[in-house]
Amino acid sequence: MNDVVKILGVKINKITLEETVEKVKNFLKDDSSTKPKTIFTPNTEIVMEARKNSDLKGILNHSDLVIPDGIGLVYASRIKKKSLPERVTGYDLSLKMIELAEKEGYSLYLLGCKDGVAKEASEKLLEKHPNLKIAGYHHGYFKGTHIGHKGHEEEKHVIDKINKSNADILFVGLGAPKQEIWINENKDKLNCKVVIGNGGTIDHLAERLKRAPEIYQKLGIEWLYRLIKEPKRIKRQIALPLFVLIVLFSRKKTVE
């Protein structure tokens, strides 16, 4: 297919932020399906993880939309002449979804983060978007599929709360790959229209995590800023140079 690129076996949509927003608009308008549309936002580290984890790869490849959150993915696609048009971060898309929800009257549910953070995020959101409908929020530290407790009572309770809220859009921020696993297992039980696994977005909305200064964002080196702030991320970030080496030198087709 021409509208996707496969990087190390993971399907990524060839799509700009603006086109992504159009797709989301269509997902929200689509009344023909009872299942929510799923959106994932992998960065380079997650694609590297999916290379070894076929369950995760399958989850990403069976979703409705996968956007390239990492600049490494965009570079890899360009090196191999299968250009992804631009980096589309989960955070930027989430901000656009919030604007869309406010404008068109869709309601939003926030699931994830430590207790109190999603509440704080919704309060901050309402300051900036007074007409936004927040359907509800719940922290991400309940027993559920993402931590090996599939079908646990606590998970059922969370799903019930989300469904009773009648939310149209669900943000799931449980970290990767927990959020991908949770969404995949529970998507058929949810009655919202769109679910996005968007990592630290709720933390950012609560202004708990500061995004890297703009210069880091422009140069595509937010990872460097995060590494300086949290040196223990080195283990995960080792995936980046390894990724470049694999894309350039593997005998197997790495980008197709």
Q: Which residues bind ligand UDP (CB under 6 A)?
A: 112-114, 140-141, 147, 173-176, 178, 199-200, 203
Q: Is the Cβ of residue 63 or residue 201 nearer to ligand UDP in the bound state?
A: 201
The least distance separating ligand UDP from the CB of residue 111, rounded to whole angstroms, comes to: 8
Using Cβ positions, the residue closest to ligand UDP within the complex turns out to be 140
Q: Is the Cβ of residue 68 or residue 254 nearer to ligand UDP in the bound state?
A: 68
The least distance separating ligand UDP from the CB of residue 162, rounded to whole angstroms, comes to: 15
The least distance separating ligand UDP from the CB of residue 174, rounded to whole angstroms, comes to: 4
Q: Is the Cβ of residue 36 or residue 177 nearer to ligand UDP in the bound state?
A: 177
The least distance separating ligand UDP from the CB of residue 226, rounded to whole angstroms, comes to: 8
Q: Is the Cβ of residue 174 or residue 239 nearer to ligand UDP in the bound state?
A: 174
- DSSP string covering the chain: -TTEEEETTEEEE---HHHHHHHHHHHHH--S-SSPEEEE---HHHHHHHHH-HHHHHHHHTSSEE---SHHHHHHHHHTT--------HHHHHHHHHHHHHHHT-EEEEEESSTTHHHHHHHHHHHH-TT-EEEEEE-S-SSSGGGT-TT-HHHHHHHHHHHHHT-SEEEEES-TTHHHHHHHHHGGG---SEEEE-TTHHHHHTTSSPPPPHHHHHHT-HHHHHHHH-GGGHHHHTHHHHHHHHHHH-SS--B-
